[in-house]
Chain A
């Protein structure tokens, strides 16, 4: 639902750095716990960038799994559902190791 705003944020950052150059792809990293729909993001990206120097560029989305680390036993658990509980000992004293990422990694630009 907010994928258009997110695409605007991505496009604005990349456009600033690309400085008018032709961008061919943009790589982003999205954590499993972010409520972002990759298909919707790609759809919005195409619409939003059309006719700009980012037009036709591919949005490459790397999904990062959600992983927690137990503060008691140190075990790491990879989560599908957002249930913050250690798989090994059942403790809910855990810290997120990954899964909340939402960042632009890099973009590819054509050189003159």
Chain B
């Protein structure tokens, strides 16, 4: 049967080993992207090539192994579902913001304040992601927002993040036609949620000044993904050794274009700016944004 090989230059080719005496191949060879049959033991090329260890066939002679090239993104399936989610949201005229942070940074407190301000005039949906419990979702009840809870412990293996399939299941429980702005409150976690697109149009991050200045350097994937970073709990600054300028420099180093909003979900500082940013994600204004 034909064997599929991948070479170090990224090219692949099929060739037949059946007619060839096993073990008689060059131990390694590098091709420049062409197909050719290897009938017979030796083979001649009218070009020179380097010998590398990729494409080593010597092991296959005894074990009968072959190499199959895949060249697929590991999260390709997630990204496909995320794109479908994004299309479903767009069809319903919903703009979605993926809200991420470490646990305790203040996502839910910020959302409570946000709903108090925006829910009377804007049709808001919340997709609440948590490993277990409805504690956060319960806190957001009573403001007039549509809320769907996704517990990742129920049928999703207790995942530490929302992925596109989980969000799809949450979207099916929301009346998308009655919503203009959807906030997806991700599982509190500074690492994993950033790796999984869910179909959002923008990524917002809440970061609390109690977390330390170095976090952007330690968790660059999430800080790099964020369109806006809400620097929360600034009412605590007088009581901390936190160096805000150093944090902002670290954030700039990993994500030079992120917008920064200093806020306190406790006092309400910065909430107007945050709500304006959210509103800017909806309607015609959002269409022209990257």
Contacts and interface: CB of A to CB of B under 8 A. Distances in A.
B159 A2 contact: yes
Given A13-B74, A33-B221, A92-B256, A2 B65 contact: no
Given A1-B191, A83-B253, A106-B6, A9 B71 contact: no
Contact of B160 (A1, A12, A17, A104): A1
Interface in A97-112: 102-112
B236 interface: no
Interface string A1-44: 11011100110111001100000100010000111000000000
A64 interface: no
Interface string B56-71: 0000000111111111
A1 B75 CA distance: 15
Interface string A45-60: 0000000000000000
Max count, chain A CB within 10 A of own CB: residue among B67, B194, B216, B256: B67
| Chain A: number of interface residues, binned into ranges | 20 to 34
A107 B67 contact: yes
Contact of A34 (B76, B160, B189, B221): B221
Contacts of A105: 6, 69-71
B78 A9 contact: yes
A83 B254 contact: yes
Query: At the interface, is chain A mostly helix, strand, loop or mixed?
Result: mixed
B77 interface: yes
A14 B157 contact: no
Contacts of B9: none
Contacts, number: 109
Contact of A104 (B71, B159, B196, B224): B71
A9 B192 CA distance: 14
B71 to A, nearest CB: 7
Given A2-B191, A82-B220, A9 B253 contact: no
B220 A108 contact: no
Given A1-B160, A10-B74, A103-B74, A108 B6 contact: no
A92 B65 contact: no
Given A9-B75, A102-B75, A109 B221 contact: no
Contacts of B256: 84, 92
Interface in B147-199: 157, 159-161, 163, 189, 191-192, 194-196
A12 B165 CA distance: 15
A17 B69 CA distance: 10
Given A2-B192, A81-B217, A17 B68 contact: yes
Contacts of A34: 195, 221
A4 B66 contact: no
B227 to A, nearest CB: 16
Nearest to B10: A105
Contacts of A104: 70-74
A12 B72 CA distance: 12
B13 interface: no
B74 A84 contact: no
B253 A4 contact: no
B189 A1 contact: yes
Interface of A: 1-2, 4-6, 9-10, 12-14, 17-18, 24, 28, 33-35, 81-85, 92, 102-112
Please list the 8 inter-chain residue pairs (A to B) with the smallest Cβ-Cβ separation, ordered nearest first.
Answer: A82-B220, A2-B192, A83-B253, A104-B70, A111-B64, A82-B254, A106-B6, A106-B69
